[in-house]
Amino acid sequence: MSASAPLYSLWSRVASASNGWRASLSSVASRHHYRRNLTTTAIHSARKEDPMEKTSLTVQSYFNTKDRNKGTFLAACEVFTMKGPQLRGHVEFIYSALKLLEEYGVQKDLEVYKRLLDLMPKAKMIPTNVFQQEFMHYPKQQQCAIDTLDMMEINGRNGT
């Protein structure tokens, strides 16, 4: 009995230390973290949002023209295509172009939507195995194409 007493006391110290450790973790998790509420004035909320505000500067440079019509829009797409065969940044370019469709007055033009979808790489985005087919292997590019088709459907429904 005397040999087991030191083991028992050692075990009880380890168990209490581990319970204390768990208790400290649970107390950290149960603390409430309050977020600071910020108030805004009417000036900030009434500010008109710029559609190019969240677009990178390199993509904005394609659309910096004073004459905004179908010809300049398609010319911007053509300049982007001539950039190179890889077409890096095509998703960002398409999203920024979708934001500017109404400014250029081409939101109901089918040729513009075909041109935007033509900017996607052709053979590069084809799934090559079962897992890529099932688990949406190129989610950013697929969502961009879906958003383009949705925009085309919305503007086609309202116009006709």
The predicted-structure confidence for 23-74, as pLDDT tens digits, reads as follows 444 444 445 555 556 555 555 555 555 555 555 555 666 777 778 889 999 9
- Give the list of residues 6+ apart from residue 156 with CB closer than 8 angstroms, or none: 108
Residue extents of the structural domains in the chain: 51-159
> Residues 120, 141: contact at Cβ < 8 Å?
yes
54: left (phi over 0), alpha (psi -120 to 50) or beta: alpha
CA angle 55, 61, 63 (to 5 degrees): 85
Is the pLDDT reported for residue 126 higher than 90? Answer: no
Task: Say if residue 7's pLDDT is above 50.
Answer: yes
The H-or-E segment that residue 75 falls in is helix 70-81
88: left (phi over 0), alpha (psi -120 to 50) or beta: beta
pLDDT, greater one: 102 or 48: 102
Total-model pTM = 0.59
* Model confidence band, residue 21 (pLDDT cutoffs 50, 70, 90): very low
